[in-house]
Structure 1
Amino acid sequence: MSVNRDPNSDCDYTEGDETTPLFGNGAVQTRARGASFASSVFNLMNAIMGSGILGLAYAMAGTGIIGFCILLILVSSLASYSIHLLLKLCDQTGINSYEDLGGKALQKPGKVLVGIAILIQNIGAMSSYLFILKSELPATISSFLSQDNTGNAWYEDGRLLLIIVALAVVLPLSMLPKIGFLGYTSSIAFFFMLYFAVVVVIKKWSIPCPLPHNVTTLSGDFQISNSSDSECTPKLFVISSKSAYAIPTMAFSFLCHTAILPIYCELDRPTKVRMQNVANISIGLSFLMYLISALFGYLTFYAHVNSELLLGYDAYMPRDILVMTVRLAILLSVLLTVPLIHFPARKAVILLLFGDRPFSWLIHIVSTLIILSMVLLLAIFVPDIRNVFGVVGSTTSSCLLFVFPGIFYLKISSQPLRSCDSIGAVVLVVLGLIMGIISLSVIIITWVQSS
């Protein structure tokens, strides 16, 4: 098995090998052209942006405009910095796998721990995305059809639609052997998100404030309390029970670390600086999209903003063509994100079960089918999967985003503890633990109060 090494990078490559092994015999060979810079940016943005964009306006209502901006800048900066630490470790050690960095730092328990965290996080994310598709796709299709179409049509069965799209779209894209191939679908998903942000801005001037008292929806009458003029004034700083959800929501919205190293090692002419530029551009564009959609969504509904932004438009603008098309765009974007999240999950399974073995189509196909079947079964049969994985996601997301990169850097790097990066790593670990504990506590308290 020959190992290809780019002379400008510390990443090694085995042709067609998804497990990206460590240094081989040191021979420098010509490497096939990798994924383009733009394709890598789109892939990473698709890994960053998901259905979380729907909840950020609600987070702004709970923190105020200035408070939200400060927190969003803080979380996005920490996410970019933790990526910097991961790439720096990749350069120092030649390791190009998140799981192997865990093995280097904490021996085999570390590798297993990271692999399990990636599996739980990504299976939870894929299941929740497919759950959204199962719940929303039938209503979205029905909204485009005539209201006279009643009865139990096949497209009103969310489970059937989910199986069809999983077999027709998710499975073929998940079978691709390299993450770089998903750059085209990721670019489509990005433009769907951009369309969502544009529609949110346009609809700011279509819904009056104070909000009307009675609103008719597709399902009947929707009753809300009448807004007052004072509620049409944006709040700059807010501290309430909703504020506790803001940081976890933002942290989950910037989690892309499981896809960083696979994208890095398939990047054309991969260097740390080049990959850091990919990460900074991706996070920067995602930041702008998040900020614009959250700001104008909040300025549309103010204190009455829904935790899932699109539901608010349904209440006040039923059968609006822009709202219907943007809902379809968001669902398609979520659908195209699932194969990208599937890649690191499959990679973790193969590394944990088979180690650094040469690429095998049999292992690749079997792993893909098992993971996708598990995700599909969870999305179909678990009645409220978002609560189940809310607890898991609040812990694994904080670990993958903040805690693991900081611990790995402190354990592996030879830099003194007083160096800037070491201090930054300590800050990441502390903040990650605090955010994980807070988000988990809030979810548990909410459960207890609701019951």
Structure 2
Amino acid sequence: MSINRNATADLCSEGVAGNIEGNEVTPLLTYGSAPPKGASFASSVFNLMNAIMGSGILGLAYVMANTGILGFCILLLLVSTLAAYSIHLLLKLCDQTGINSYEELGGRALQKPGKVLVGISIIIQNMGAMSSYLFILKSELPAAIDSFLNPESIGWVRETLSAHFSANKDISFLNLSQLHAWYEDGRLLLVLVTLCVVLPLSMLPKIGFLSYTSSIAFFFMLYFAIVVVVKKWSIPCPLPHNVTTLSGAFKISNSSDSECTPKLFAISSKSGYAIPTMAFSFLCHTAILPIYCELDRPTKARMQNITNISIGLSFLLYLISALFGYLTFYAHVDSELLLGYDAYMPRDIMVMVVRLAILLAVLLTVPLIHFPARKAAILLLFGGRPFSWLIHIFATLIILGGVLLLAIVVPDIRNVFGVVGSTTSTLLLFVFPGMFYLKLNTGPLRSFDSIGAILMVVVGVVMGILSFSSIVITWAQNS
């Protein structure tokens, strides 16, 4: 069955994927005699890149430290290639079936259980992604504001009073917490930015409206990669000892000259986070079909070109930032790269600006990732009902509330990358596209795409099991 691609905008909208009955396609929203003009090629590229890039760029240097440079490059190329190929399978299925929703593809392939499984996976994946973004805001935004508003006095006052308290036990009645300004409370700032920025942008009814914020976020990410390259030569190796972070705490480094030699390959218990973090970093499949639906003159070839450009540019930025981040800190890379610069260059103006830029980029990404999660939730709970502002607002508030709570509770961003990446990211990136293609494709089983789909399913299952097992073992050893 084929479908007129010029009618794609009529067949796809948030929570309004077309109802497919045999060969009949019934749009749930119509726009009259002519559909509105869709999103441009460039804006779609920015939106897709913004869906791809986010907090993952901060964790890839940590992955390189635990896999080695060549090992990292091989894995990054493998995951990015599989991501582009799995999108090719999804777009091909869209053209063959006329379905333009990831959840509906699951329903067509595996009936209602498939639709529910895909919907739940999308919700968990995107809520995990959003919580990781908000976690970064919670941990980094207070330090960023503090560095601009009070760059010199706070750390000195804290050190002086701490030394004074240790020498004079009789002045314990003084309350150190009084030194903290309100903007140093990461949880309070997180609530404020969610209400003032994330919530209004998340209320927008179409994903195409976010193309302007997505373009801004991309240039922030580009600036981050440039700063990581430049600052490689500003931090000595071996790393200095007993440095003071922006928050006034001491961070002890035990670097030696031998640690300043980069490793080409490395294997450790922490290597289990490699594939999940990469899968997390390249997963844009939940946003690919909504973007496809709103594309001007939508065709499979046009959307595949958008995908290839977006993944290619993201690959370059990921590789550059991970490589130079690793060559700066070597084995002492934090699971969140910005924390290293916070420790060794807390007052550097470029670091201060890039910290603020990456926070703004992450902040602007949250509404884009929220869109597919809300679409999946509405589709599962309310089926094919026409668009309703009441349902739209209710779903937005519930999802953002859950994400906000998760971001406040999570102690380490690495846990989000690992668990979500090894489960839902692996399913959505590798397993589901291959499985659905094998189930719905009418072509021969020995064709190139069918063989590729089989390999996708096998690779996804094996990678997911091995990665999740490694992460659980690491937790058990640490506990």
Structure 1 match to 2:223: 195
2:51 to 23, 30, 47: 47
The answer (yes or no) to whether the contact 1:12–1:94 under 8 Å persists in 2 is no
DSSP-derived class of the 2:244 partner:
strand
1:424 to 424, 443, 452: 452
Structure 2 match to 1:148: 153
Structure 2 match to 1:224: 253
- Relative to structure 1, is the Cα distance of residues 183 and 271 closer, same or farther in structure 2, using a 3 angstrom cutoff? same
| 1:159-170 alignment, distance < 5 Å | 159-170=187-198
Structure 1 match to 2:166: none
How many Å apart are 1:32 and its aligned residue?
Answer: 1.2
Structure 2 match to 1:11: 8
Comparing 14-23 with 153-162, which one deviates more in the overlay? 14-23
Supply the distance in 2 between the matched residues of 1:80 and 1:382 (Cα, whole angstroms).
31
2:263 to 224, 235, 242: 235
The answer (yes or no) to whether the contact 2:276–2:420 under 8 Å persists in 1 is no
Supply the distance in 1 between the matched residues of 2:407 and 2:244 (Cα, whole angstroms).
31
Matched, 1:308 2:309: no
How many Å apart are 1:235 and its aligned residue?
Answer: 2.1
Structure 2 match to 1:406: 434
Superposed CA deviations along residues 316-351 of structure 1, whole A, max 9, x for unmatched, are 212111111111111111111110111001100111
How many Å apart are 1:279 and its aligned residue?
Answer: 0.5
Tell me how large the CA RMSD over aligned residues is: 2.2
Structure 2 match to 1:107: 111
TM-score by length of 2: 0.88
Structure 1 match to 2:394: 366
2:128 to 115, 124, 131: 124
Query: What percent identity do the matched residue pairs reach?
Result: 77
1:248 to 276, 279, 284: 276
Superposed CA deviations along residues 385-435 of structure 1, whole A, max 9, x for unmatched, are 863784344211100010000000000001221111011001110111111
Structure 2 match to 1:58: 62
Supply the distance in 2 between the matched residues of 1:15 and 1:243 (Cα, whole angstroms).
40
Structure 1 match to 2:163: none
Instruction: Work out the number of aligned pairs and report it.
Output: 446
The answer (yes or no) to whether the contact 1:64–1:238 under 8 Å persists in 2 is yes
DSSP-derived class of the 1:13 partner:
helix
Matched, 1:278 2:306: yes
2:289 to 261, 270, 292: 261
Supply the distance in 1 between the matched residues of 2:131 and 2:426 (Cα, whole angstroms).
19
Alignment gaps of 5+ in structure 2: 155-177
Supply the distance in 1 between the matched residues of 2:316 and 2:141 (Cα, whole angstroms).
27
How many Å apart are 1:49 and its aligned residue?
Answer: 0.6
Matched, 1:91 2:95: yes
Matched, 1:20 2:49: no
Structure 2 match to 1:440: 468
Question: What one-letter code is carried by the residue in structure 2 that aligns with 1:97?
Answer: S
TM-score by length of 1: 0.93
Comparing 270-279 with 302-311, which one deviates more in the overlay? 302-311
Supply the distance in 2 between the matched residues of 1:66 and 1:174 (Cα, whole angstroms).
39
Matched, 1:78 2:106: no
Comparing 129-138 with 28-37, which one deviates more in the overlay? 28-37
The answer (yes or no) to whether the contact 1:54–1:307 under 8 Å persists in 2 is yes
Supply the distance in 1 between the matched residues of 2:104 and 2:3 (Cα, whole angstroms).
20
How many Å apart are 1:381 and its aligned residue?
Answer: 4.8
Supply the distance in 1 between the matched residues of 2:296 and 2:120 (Cα, whole angstroms).
30
- Relative to structure 1, is the Cα distance of residues 351 and 226 closer, same or farther in structure 2, using a 3 angstrom cutoff? closer
